[in-house]
Structure 1
Amino acid sequence: MNLLHAVGDRAILVDCDDLEAVLALNAALTVAPPDGIVDIVPAARTVLVTFDPARLSADRVTGWIRSTPPVPPEVWGYSDVVEIDVQYSGEDLAEVAALLSTSEREVVQAHTASVWRVAFVGFAPGFGYLVTDSPQLVVPRRASPRTSVPAGSVGLAGEYTGVYPRSSPGGWQIIGRTDAVLWDPDATTPALLVPGRVVRFREAS
């Protein structure tokens, strides 16, 4: 049973058992939210539901969350697939291969063969935390974060892969770079990567 907590008078925070439970609940809640729900924000172990108290009471929101059954994995999120071309020449590629006791070529093959899904977003606008069912690419963050990581850098950290939408400090293991635009504030949908979206990485020629 998920634990629910009031966050002021405009939000309910749901504590989930694990990331899979977050994905299942987020997928369910976003199908047909009642009028008055403002936003649904998944994270690594929680889902935050914000609402307009003039249109919905906290009790109604809590009841809606508790009565919404999780969505099974096969129908999570979006049916379309975002393809991102990557040049796998990142400065940490050799270190990642050493950590995994494999070759650089095998790291690239594993990254491109995996089907990734955006679990949640954070850290910076447009930065998606992507997960996959494949356990092959789990590596620790860098012992010493960099003060500046270029925009478009593709990295690994723990169970996640991600793409830096803009230059920023960061401690992820950089394995490549892409020219894909991850965040465009002038676009109708500013973020390319949103929770639930499926992503495939392709090696750029």
Structure 2
Amino acid sequence: MSTPALEREARYTWGGDEFLFVEVDEAMSLAANFKVMTLASKLSGAALEGVTDICPANASLLIRFNPDVLAPSVLEATVRGFEQDAAGGGAETLATRIVEVPVWYDDPFTAEVAQRFREGFHQEPSGTDLDYAAKVNGLTDAAEFIRRHHEQPWLVSMVGFVAGLPFLFQLVERQKQLEVPKYLSPRTDTPRLTVGHGGCFGAIYSVRGAGGYQMFGVAAAPIYDPAQTLADFKDFMVFFRPGDIVKFKPVTEQEYAAIQAEVENGTFRYRQAPVVFELNKALEDPERYNRELMEALDGM
């Protein structure tokens, strides 16, 4: 099945002498992001001498290169060739992984911070972020929102803004997307590993700091480990990669504490499994394909 985002030609622009910017689409969509991931994967696999960094984003790709080693015309021609392959049906699958992320929803850490930043910061100062998220999505209560949040997987559409922070796009039909406005004014504090949401994007705050996303809970294990003390970080201090698929798993306070103990003694490992993501299946029947993806974790 062809999609406009795969067939539409990207816009190529230059940033000074060292950057090529490839805009696949003006808006985020699964197909547009899939094309970005495909271009990034093919360019990385080509191992062109002179390419120093490849930064995939929601609907665009930024490439840094050394023009003294790699001619700009050669780089552009190479990427355009990959794009033509994608338009011709060469971007239908992507080798990636699905990861289970344990989350303590409605936790006391984000609740305390949320109460400190209500008046003048939040749309509804008298409530909670979860209550507000449920209301704007037309759901019965916070419990229903939490269920909707974790019952379907999410795609890591890009990583950045701060070190290791993943932007997450839920793999559901557009009309079922959870959408929640950001705070009216950004907070000056957000707990580390906060699971938040702004617009149609979810996120996990890799470090403590400022933020404007609604806060729903905290992830139980680190996603950014500069010391690389855990086995999941042996290759790189940032855990998530663009194209990863995330399945949130609700945990209790006791389960959260047990995971924290595993992290402390260095034994924690994320449950994860390799998968081949198929765009056509995801677009044709998201719920059925999501079940297929999540079954990959059952044997782990």
Give the whole-Å Cα distance in 2 for the aligned partners of 1:28 and 1:166.
29
CA deviation profile, 1:130-159 (whole Å, cap 9, x unmatched): 102323311111113211001011011111
* Matched AA of 1:144: S
Which residue matches 1:107? 145
Which residue matches 1:72?
A: 91
When the two structures are aligned, how many residues end up with a matched partner? 203
User: Considering only aligned residues, what root-mean-square deviation do their CA atoms show, in Å?
Assistant: 1.7
SS in 1 for 2:146: helix
| Aligned match for 2:101, one of 75, 84, 105 | 84
Q: Note the C-alpha offset of 1:56.
A: 1.5
Structure whose residues are more often strand by fraction: 1
Q: Deviation at 1:27?
A: 2.1
Greater CA deviation, 58-67 or 184-193? 184-193
User: If the length of structure 1 is used for normalisation, what is the TM-score?
Assistant: 0.91
8 Å CA contact retained: 1:126, 1:191: yes
Matched residue type, 1:61:
L
Q: Partner residue of 1:198?
A: 245
Match of 2:57 in 1: 43
The Cα of 1:51 is off from its aligned counterpart by: 1.8
- State the alpha-carbon separation in 2 of the partners of residues 198 and 168 from structure 1: 25
Structure 1: unaligned runs, 5 residues or longer: none
Residues 1:26 and 2:37 aligned together = yes
Instruction: Say if 2:24 and 2:35, in contact at 8 Å, map to a contact too.
Output: no
Match of 1:176 among 214, 217, 223: 217
Shift of 1:77: 5.0
Deviation digits for residues 62-103 of structure 1, max 9, x if unmatched? 001111033535x2351x211111111054111111111212
C-alpha distance in 1 between matches for 2:53 and 2:37: 11
Normalising by structure 2, we get a TM-score of 0.63
Query: Matches of 1:15 and 1:28 in 2, distance apart?
Result: 11
Q: In the TM superposition, what whole-angstrom CA distance separates every residue of 1:180-199 from its partner, at most 9, and x where no partner exists?
A: 21111233311111111111
Report if the CA contact (8 A) 1:184-1:191 is conserved.
Answer: yes
Q: What amino acid is aligned across from residue 6 of structure 1 in structure 2? A: W
1:22-53 Cα shifts (integer Å, max 9, x gaps): 43133233232332222211223321011232
Cα displacement string for residues 142-177 of structure 1 (whole angstroms, at most 9, x for unaligned residues)? 113211001011011111111111111111010111
- Does the 8 Å contact 2:40/2:56 carry over to 1? no
CA drift at 1:9: 1.9
Runs of 4+ in 1 over 3 A off after TM superposition: none
**Structure 2: gaps spanning 5 or more residues:** 1-8, 112-128, 229-234, 253-300
Task: Find 2:183's aligned residue among 136, 142, 149.
Answer: 142
- Asked if the contact 1:144–1:171 (Cα under 8 Å) also holds between the matched residues in 2, the reply is yes
CA offset at residue 115 of structure 1?
Answer: 1.1
- Tell me, in whole angstroms, the C-alpha distance in 1 between the residues paired with 2:95 and 2:180: 26
Max Rg structure:
2
Other structure's SS at 1:24 match: helix
Among the aligned pairs, what percent are the same residue?
27
Which of the two has greater helix per residue?
2
